[in-house]
Structures are given as C-alpha cells and as structure tokens.
Amino acid sequence: MFELLLDLPEPVAPSEYVVERCIKFNSDHFGVPELAIRAILDVEGGKVCTVSKNSNGSFDLGLMQINTINLGYIQDEYPQVTPSDIACKPCLNITIGAWILSKRINETKDIWKGIGHYHSKTPKYRDRYLKKISDAVSSIVEENKKS
C-alpha cells in the first residue's frame, strides 16, 4: 500500500480558498470548532501530497498529517479512500481529519483532551501537542484581531 505513496507529486501549498471552504464545511458537518481545525493545520504544517515518516514506522499524510495508524478505522468508514487520496486531496484530508477529531472529542467528552488525542493518547505526547495547539490558537486569535 505504501509503495503507491512513493509516486506522489512533490508537496505543494494548498489553495487558501479551498482550505477555508473545507474548514467551514467540516466544522459545521462534524460539529468541531473551526479554530481547532485551523490550529491543527498550523501545528501539523502539512502540504498537499506531504508524506512524513514517523519514528514508529507509521506515516503522516497531507495537510492535517493524518497518521496511517488510522487507515483501518478510516477504510471501515470510507472504504473507497486510499492513502494517496488522503495525502493529495486537500479537502478530503481536512474532512478525514475533522472526522477523526470529532471522534476523539466524543470519546473523551472534553474538547482539549480530544484535540490532544488527535495526536496521541499517551499523556506526555498529548500534553506537548496541546501546548503547541494552545500557542497556535493564540496566534490565530491575535492575527484575527489585526484583520
């Protein structure tokens, strides 16, 4: 399955227009805050067709850096979606990421813990990630004040 990921085009920045529309749609559709999706996008720093290898042998795909550990779970719900689709289709990537985020928030019944679990359920990794998310949220809010 991952052999196909080797033939992907070079990573590129997504269209701002597409990202904004996808964030809005998926925030409404899955009931997750737009700010949470934006912060994850900022922290993850993925691009269209980004594939990043992790130290545990898994890969992170696309804009929201969706970990391949989730592929079984994703393909149960969305059987037609491939890892290449997740990596290279920006709105699909945001949709899958928002779906995973909504599941994590629903599992924990706590928005911050759910956002942390988007990255890892291991407390030390979750908490480190939440610090980055908190900083991203502050930056986004500050930037919005200037606009």
Query: How confident is the model at residue 3, as a pLDDT?
Result: 45
Report whether 105 contacts 114 (CB < 8 A): yes
Closest CA to 58 of 47, 68, 46: 68
What are the pLDDT tens digits along the chain (147 aa)? Answer: 444 466 788 889 999 999 999 999 999 999 999 999 999 999 999 999 999 999 999 999 999 999 999 999 999 999 999 999 999 999 999 999 999 999 999 999 999 999 999 999 999 999 999 999 999 999 999 998 887
Domain 2-146 has CATH 1.10.530: yes
Query: How confident is the model at residue 7, as a pLDDT?
Result: 75
Report whether 113 contacts 119 (CB < 8 A): no
The first and second tokens of residue 134, run together, are 């908190």
Query: How confident is the model at residue 8, as a pLDDT?
Result: 83
